[in-house]
A and B are shown apart, each in its own frame.
Chain A
Amino acid sequence: MNEMNEEDKAVLLDHDYDGIQELDHPLPRWWVMSFWGGIIFAIIYFSYYVVGSGPSLQYEYGLDLKHLKEVKKEYLKNLSQFNSDTYHSYSQSPEMLKVGESNFNKHCVACHRDKAAGDIGPNLTDEYWLYAEGTPETIFPFILTGNPSGGMPAWAEMLKEDELYAITAYLMSIQGIEQENPKAPQGERFERIK
C-alpha cells in the first residue's frame, strides 16, 4: 500500500482482503442529496402522472394533433382551390417546367417511371385516366389528396404549393409524347383537349 495521510488513517478499517484495505469515509453530501433527490423525484412524478391526474401521453398527443389539424385544414382550404392563373403562369414558363420535371424525377419516377411512361403506377401520358380526366383542373387536386390505399400518397402533405403546380404543368407538357415501351392503358379514356 502507498503512504496514507492522517485523514485516511483515521477511517481505515481493520480488515484486509488479499492486501486490499478499506477506508470508511463518510458519504459525500452532494451524493446523498442526489440519492434522495432521485427517489423523491420518482415518488412525486409517479404520483402525479399515474396515481394522480397528470395528462397521459395519448392526451397530450391529442392536443398536438388537434392544433395541427386546424393548421392543415386552413392551408388545404386555400391550396385545393385550383387557380388557373397560377397554373398558366407555370405552364408557360420554361423555367417552371424544369422545376416540375426535377420534382417529378425526385418524387414520382419510382412508381411512374421516367417521362411518366408508367410502371408500378399508371402511364400518365396516354389518354386513359383512373382518377383524373387529363386536365390540370382534375390532375392537380388528385395529386393533393392521392389515393393512399392504392399506393399514391397525398402529396399536399409533402410538397409545397409551387412544386405541386410545377409538377402538374410538367405533366401536361408531356401529354402524348412518344414513349418507349409504355405501360398498358388503365382506366377510362378522356380525349385530349388541345
Chain B
Amino acid sequence: MTTSKLESFRYDDKIVKFFIIATMVWGAVAMLLGVTIAFQLADWRLNLGLEWMTFGRMRPLHTNAAIFAFAGNGIFAGVYYSMQRLCKARLFSDKLSRVHFWGWQLIIVSAAISLLSGATTGKEYAELEWPIDIAITVIWVVFAVNFFGTLFNRREKHIYVAIWFYIATIITVAVLHIVNSLEFPVSFMKSYSIYAGVQDALVQWWYGHNAVAFFLTTPFLGLMYYFIPKAAKRPVYSYRLSIIHFWSLVFIYIWAGPHHLLYSSLPNWVQTLGMVFSVALWAPSWGGMINGLLTLRGAWDQVRREPMLKFMAAAVTFYGMATFEGPLLSIKSFNSLAHYTDWIVGHVHSGTIGWNYFLIAGILYYLVPQLWRTKIYSKELGQMQFWTATIGLALYIVSMWIAGVTQGLMWRAVEPDTGNLVYPHFIETVVRIVPMYWVRAIGGTLVLISFIMMIYNLYKTIKNAGEHEEEVFQAPAIEKSKGFLFFKKHRELEGLPLIFTILVVIAIGVGSAIEIIPSLVSTKFIQKNEAITPYTPLELAGRDIYIREGCYTCHSQMIRPMAAETMRYGKYSKAAEFVYDRPFQWGSRRIGPDIARVGGKYPHMWHYRHMWDPREVTLDSIMPKYPWLFSKKTDYQVLPKKLKVMAALGVPYGSEQIENAVANAKEQAEEIIAALEEGGVENKMKDKQIVALIAYLQRLGVEGRDIEDESTQEEEE
C-alpha cells in the first residue's frame, strides 16, 4: 500500500447554517399551521369564512410544511454537515449547495401560495401541482449530484452506516416522487393524474407510506447514527445490527403502502401483502431503535443533564413507539377499527413530533454550538422546552387515542335486538369527540411554544457567538477502487458506493414492481363495469371544485365491506366505480361522513343549504361555510380542454362530446337550477360553482349501486 500525500481542505459550514435557520423558520410555520387547523376542528368558526383559511386548504399546507419544509431543511442541514465529515471532503460544489438551498425555499413558498389558492392535485402529501413537481425533481437531482459528488471525492475509503441511509433516501425519494407525480397538465396550475381510481390509490399510498419511510425515517436514522455517537461520545452499539436492520428495513418498507388501503377496493392480495410486510417491518424498525438507545448506554447521567441528549433519547424512544404502533394498526382487525379515525392522526404525530421534531432539536443543540464555536445559551430553557414539548405531545397522542377509539366504536355499534346502528347520525359521533379536539389543540399549542423556546435559545446562542476562522483539515486521498464488482464481506461493499447504490435500487425495486405493475398492466384486477360512465362536463367541473377545496381531507369516498358501514352508507365500493377518477378521492380520515354514495341521498336543495351553512341542515356540524361557491362562476370555457386531456388519458369521451362540453354543462346546470328554483333559489345562480358541485355530489355512487357484491355471489353459488 502506498501512503498518499496529505491533502488540505475546508468544510462548507455556511450552507449548513443556512439550512439550520430555514429549519427553525419553517418548523415554526408548520406548527403554527397545525395549531390553527387543530382549533378549527374544535370550533368551525375559526375557518373565518375565508377561502384560503378553510381547513381543507390549510391542512395540506400543514402536512407539506411539516414534512418537506421543516423535516426537509433539517435533513439537509444534518446531511450536509455529517456528509463532509464522514467523507473528509468539502461538499462537491458550493454553487450546487446554494442552488439547492434557495431552490428548496422557493419551492416551499410557491407551495404555500398555490395550496392556499386552491391549486392542488388532491393526492395526500403530493398535493403540489405539476410545475412545482418539476422544480422538486430538479432540486432533488441537484442535491443528489452534490451528494454523490462529495461521496466520489471522499478521503475515507468506507462509507459509514449514516451514509447508507442517506443513499437509500436520495434514490427512493426520487423514484417515489417521479412515479407518483406523473400527471397530464390542463393549464398552468391544473393537471390530471395519469393513473385512475384503484391504480392511483395504490401508487399514491406506495408513495405516501414511503414518504414516511424514506423522508421521515431513513434520513433520520442516518442522522441518528451520526449525531447520537457524536453527542454522547459513545461508540455505536452493534455494527452487525446496523447491516441487518438497514437492508431489511429498506427491502421491507417499500411493500407496506397498501396497509393504508385495507378493506378498500384494492385487490385482496395486494392488501394482504401490505399488511404482512408491515408486521414483518416491526423488528427491522426496532433494530434501529435498539442501536440508538444502546449506544447511549453508559451515558444516561449525561442524558439527564443535557437537553441535547434528552431530545435524542426521547426521539429514538418515540420512534420505537410509533414503529410498534404502525404494524399493529396494519393488522386488518385493528385497522378496521382505527382507519379513518383520529387514532391514525395521533400515530402520525407521535412520529413527526416525537421522532422528527425531537431528533432535529437534539441535532440543532449539537450543531449550533459546534458551528458557531460557542456554548448553548441556556440549558435550563432547553430542559423547559423538552418538558413542554413532551407534555404537549402526550396530550396530543392520548386525546387522539381516546377520540379514535371512541369514534371507531360508535361507528360500528349495532343494537343486538333491532340490528340498527346505535348512532345512525354521523354527527353524534363527531359531537362526542369535539372535547378531545380541544385537548389536542392545547397539546399542539404546547408543542409550538416549546419550539419557539428553542428558536429563542438558539437565537441567543448564535447572537452571543464571536467571529471565528474556518478550520483547515488534513487527510490523505484514497486510492480509487478498481474492478469493484465482487465483494466478500459487507465491509468491502462499504468501499464500493456505486455497487451499494445499485443494491439499494434493487432492494426498493422488487417490492414496488411486484405490487404496482400487475394493477397497471392487467385489467384482471380492476374490472370495468358498463354501468359506470365518465363524468359529464359539469360533474367534472364540480369534481375539480371538490378537489380544490380539499374535501378529501375530511370526507372519504370508500365504503368498506363491513356490515355497520354498509348500513350507514350503502353498498360497499367496487373497483369498477373509480375507473374515471383522476385523481382518486378515497380520503384517509372521516372527520365528516363517507360520501361515496351520497348521490341522490338528499335533494339538491339540501346540498345548496349545506354548502351555504352546514348548520342549516345538521345542527352541530363542524364543517366550514363555503359562501364563495355562491358568488364565483363555474369556468365553462376550460371544459373542452379538460375533456380532451381526460380523453388523451383513456377516458372514452368522443370528439362530439368534447366540442359540446360547454353547451352540455349549461344544460345540466339548467336542470339543477330548475329543481332549486322550487325552493326559492334565483335562476341567476345557475352559473355559480355551487351548481357544478351539486352536479358532482349527486352522481356519487349512483351508477355503482347495482353492481353485485362479491359475497352475495358466493352465497348463490
Chain A contact residues, CB within 8 Å of chain B: 1-5, 8, 12-13, 15, 17-28, 31, 34-35, 37-39, 41-43, 45-46, 49-50, 56-59, 61-66, 68-69, 71-72, 75, 107, 110-111, 119-120, 148-151, 156-158, 160
Given contacts A18-B230, A20-B236, A72-B420, 5 further A-B contacts (CB under 8 A): A2-B232, A43-B276, A62-B712, A68-B567, A120-B617
Instruction: Tell me, in angstroms, the Cα distance from A185 to B21 when the chains sit together.
Output: 68
Nearest A residue (CB) for B712: A62
- Select A75's contact among B419, B606, B714, beta carbons within 8 Å: B419
9 contacts between A and B (CB under 8 A): A2-B233, A5-B298, A18-B85, A24-B240, A27-B240, A31-B287, A57-B271, A63-B711, A120-B609
**B303 shortest CB reach to chain A, Å:** 13
- Select A31's contact among B232, B269, B283, B711, beta carbons within 8 Å: B283
Contact A58 B419 (CB under 8 A): no
With contact pairs A24-B240, A62-B715, A71-B417 given, residues A120 and B679 touching in the complex (Cβ less than 8 Å): yes
**A16 shortest CB reach to chain B, Å:** 9
Contact B280 A19 (CB under 8 A): no
**A28 shortest CB reach to chain B, Å:** 7
A residues within 8 A CB of B566?
61, 65
Contact A57 B268 (CB under 8 A): yes
Contact A120 B603 (CB under 8 A): yes
With contact pairs A46-B276, A111-B606 given, residues A15 and B711 touching in the complex (Cβ less than 8 Å): no
Contact B711 A62 (CB under 8 A): yes
A residues within 8 A CB of B421?
157-158
Contact A151 B602 (CB under 8 A): yes
Contact B563 A65 (CB under 8 A): yes
A residues within 8 A CB of B273?
46, 50
**B622 shortest CB reach to chain A, Å:** 16
A residues within 8 A CB of B279?
38, 41-42, 45
List which B616-659 residues lie within 8 A (CB) of chain A.
616-619
Interface string of B245-269 (1 = CB under 8 A from A): 0001000000000000001000011
Instruction: Tell me, in angstroms, the Cα distance from A53 to B158 when the chains sit together.
Output: 49
List which B404-457 residues lie within 8 A (CB) of chain A.
414, 416-421, 424-425
Contact A25 B606 (CB under 8 A): no
Contact A68 B419 (CB under 8 A): yes
Contact B230 A25 (CB under 8 A): no
> How big is the B interface, by class?
35 or more
Instruction: Tell me, in angstroms, the Cα distance from A163 to B421 when the chains sit together.
Output: 15
A residues within 8 A CB of B424?
157-158
**B428 shortest CB reach to chain A, Å:** 10
State the total of A-B contacts with C-beta under 8 angstroms.
Answer: 189
Q: Does B471 contact A (CB under 8 A)?
A: no
Q: Does B149 contact A (CB under 8 A)?
A: no
Instruction: Tell me, in angstroms, the Cα distance from A24 to B85 when the chains sit together.
Output: 22
Contact B248 A25 (CB under 8 A): no
Contact A34 B160 (CB under 8 A): no
Instruction: Tell me, in angstroms, the Cα distance from A31 to B88 when the chains sit together.
Output: 34
Instruction: Tell me, in angstroms, the Cα distance from A39 to B280 when the chains sit together.
Output: 5
Instruction: Tell me, in angstroms, the Cα distance from A149 to B566 when the chains sit together.
Output: 16
- Select B563's contact among A28, A31, A43, A68, beta carbons within 8 Å: A68
Q: Does B214 contact A (CB under 8 A)?
A: no
Q: Does B348 contact A (CB under 8 A)?
A: no
The A interface is mostly helix, strand or loop, or mixed, namely helix
A residues within 8 A CB of B418?
71-72, 75, 160
A residues within 8 A CB of B417?
71, 75
With contact pairs A57-B561, A59-B711, A120-B605 given, residues A1 and B272 touching in the complex (Cβ less than 8 Å): no
Contact B714 A62 (CB under 8 A): yes
Nearest A residue (CB) for B160: A17
Instruction: Tell me, in angstroms, the Cα distance from A159 to B254 when the chains sit together.
Output: 47
Q: Does B514 contact A (CB under 8 A)?
A: no
Contact B603 A42 (CB under 8 A): no
With contact pairs A1-B234, A22-B236, A38-B280 given, residues A71 and B416 touching in the complex (Cβ less than 8 Å): yes
**B592 shortest CB reach to chain A, Å:** 15
- Select B235's contact among A20, A26, A56, A110, beta carbons within 8 Å: A20
List which B546-596 residues lie within 8 A (CB) of chain A.
561-563, 566-567, 572
**A117 shortest CB reach to chain B, Å:** 14
List which B275-307 residues lie within 8 A (CB) of chain A.
275-277, 279-284, 286-287, 290, 294, 298-299
Contact A41 B276 (CB under 8 A): yes
Nearest 6 CB-CB pairings of A with B:
A62-B711, A42-B276, A158-B424, A72-B419, A71-B419, A35-B283
Contact B237 A25 (CB under 8 A): yes
With contact pairs A17-B160, A65-B711 given, residues A158 and B425 touching in the complex (Cβ less than 8 Å): yes
With contact pairs A2-B299, A20-B226, A20-B230 given, residues A158 and B276 touching in the complex (Cβ less than 8 Å): no
Instruction: Tell me, in angstroms, the Cα distance from A83 to B610 when the chains sit together.
Output: 37
B residues within 8 A CB of A68?
414, 419, 563, 567
Instruction: Tell me, in angstroms, the Cα distance from A58 to B603 when the chains sit together.
Output: 31
From A1, A59, A61, A62, name the one whose CB has the most chain B CB atoms within 10 angstroms. A61
Instruction: Tell me, in angstroms, the Cα distance from A58 to B713 when the chains sit together.
Output: 10
**B220 shortest CB reach to chain A, Å:** 17
